[in-house]
Amino acid sequence: MGPPAPSGATQIQLTLTVNGADHGLRLDNRITLLDALRDDLGLVGTKKGCDQGACGACTVLLDGRRVLACLTLAAQCEGRQVTTIEGLAGDGRHPLQEAFLRHDGFQCGYCTPGQIMSAVALLREGRAGSDEEIREFMSGNICRCGAYPNILAAIREVARAGVA
């Protein structure tokens, strides 16, 4: 369950509810949600990009709201619902994942999980009224390949269909 804590660190016992399942963990109290997801739970769909909250690759949903997992301590998430890309649609694909495929909303794919998680929240928040609004509320998610027009098209399609 993770490496031993460095000298002076405090180990904590907590339960994270991730994608509907409870996971009892013993962690250093300074561990981020991102590191707990990837290193302790093996959920590697959430990407570690900049590790500074600037790129959005680590975006997950916490109680349905988007957060940057690299800036969120795992301890802050006890008693709350964490949803990662792996748990977004259960056994199938979320409509937004399908739209990303149809519109080629990814190239290298590295930013795609964070883009999709942010877009799901954006749609649930009702912030897809115009292309400008979508761009504004997706601005925290960076795509180094430049697939922005395709990402926008995928979000617009799902917004028009009213499924999020």
Which CATH number is 141's domain given? 1.10.150.120
CA 14 to chain centre: 21
Of the pLDDT bands very low, low, confident and very high (cuts 50, 70, 90), residue 91 is confident
**Average pLDDT along the chain:** 94
Query: Is the pLDDT confidence value at 105 over 80?
Result: yes
Residue 3 falls inside a structural domain: no
- The answer as to whether 124 is a domain residue is yes
Q: Are residues 113 and 150 in the same domain?
A: yes
Q: Where a domain ends, among 85, 119, 135? A: 85
Residue 72 lies in a domain: yes
pLDDT of 48 over the 70 cut: yes
Q: Which residue from 36, 52, 43 is spatially nearest to 117, judged by alpha carbons?
A: 43
Question: DSSP letter at 26?
Answer: E
- Determine the angle formed by the axes of helices 112-124 and 95-102, rounding to 10 degrees: 120
Please answer whether residues 95 and 164 qualify as being in contact, where contact means their C-beta atoms are separated by less than 8 angstroms. yes
- Give the pLDDT band (50/70/90) at residue 90: confident
pLDDT at 161: 94
| Sign of the dihedral through C-alpha 66, 96, 50, 19 | positive
pLDDT band at 29 (very low <50, low <70, confident <90, very high): very high
Cα–Cα distance, 44 to 31 (Å, whole number): 16
On whether both 78 and 100 belong to a single domain, the answer is: no
Helix, strand, coil share of the chain (percent; to 5): 35, 20, 45
Q: State mean pLDDT over 57-86.
A: 98
Per-residue pLDDT for 59 more than 60? Answer: yes
- Would you tell me how many other CB atoms lie within 10 Å of the CB of residue 139? 10
**Structural domain includes residue 90:** no
Confidence (pLDDT) at 143:
93
**pLDDT exceeding 70 applies to what percent of the chain?**
95
